[in-house]
Chain A
Amino acid sequence: MPGLIIAAVIVGIFLIIPIGMYNSLVGKRNQVHNIFGTMDAMLKKRWDLIPNLVSTVKGYADHERTLFENITEARSKAMSGQMSENQKVGLENSFMQLLGVVRATVENYPDLKASDNFMHLQRTLNELEEQISAARRAFNAAVTDYNNAVQMFPTNIIAGMFGFTIKELFQIEADEREKPQVGGLL
Chain B
Amino acid sequence: MKTLEELKAFYDTELVAELRQLEAKRKQVMINSLIAVGVVAVLGLVIAGAVMAQGGPPFILIFFLVGGAIVGGIAFSFISKGYKAEFKQRIISKIITFLEPGLRYSPQGLIDRQTFKTSTLFKHSIDRYRGEDRVDGTIGQTQVAFSEIHAEYKTSSGTGKDRKTEWHTIFKGLFFIADFNKHFKGQTVVLPDTAEKLFGGFGKMLQSWNMSRDDLIKLEDVEFEREFVVYGSDQIEARYILSTSLMQRILEFKRKTGTKIYLSFTGSNVYVALPMTKNLFEPKVMSSIMDFEPILDYARDLSLAVAIVEDLNLNTRIWSKE
Contact = CB atoms under 8 A, between A and B. Distances in A.
A46 to B, nearest CB: 13
Nearest to A136: B239
Contact of A130 (B182, B219, B220, B322): B182
B129 to A, nearest CB: 35
A122 B219 CA distance: 28
Contacts of A127: 182, 319-320
Nearest to B240: A134
A140 B182 contact: no
A102 to B, nearest CB: 16
A97 interface: no
Interface residues of B, number: 20
B236 A141 contact: no
Interface residues of A, number: 24
Contacts of B243: 130, 133-134, 181-182
Interface string A88-124: 0000000000000000000000000000000000111
Contacts of A181: 243-245
A11 to B, nearest CB: 27
B240 A131 contact: yes
B319 A130 contact: yes
B320 A123 contact: yes
Interface string B206-249: 00000000000111100000000000000111111001110000
A49 to B, nearest CB: 12
A185 B236 CA distance: 23
Contacts of B218: 141, 145
Interface of A: 31, 35, 38-39, 122-124, 126-127, 130-131, 133-135, 137-138, 140-142, 145, 180-182, 185
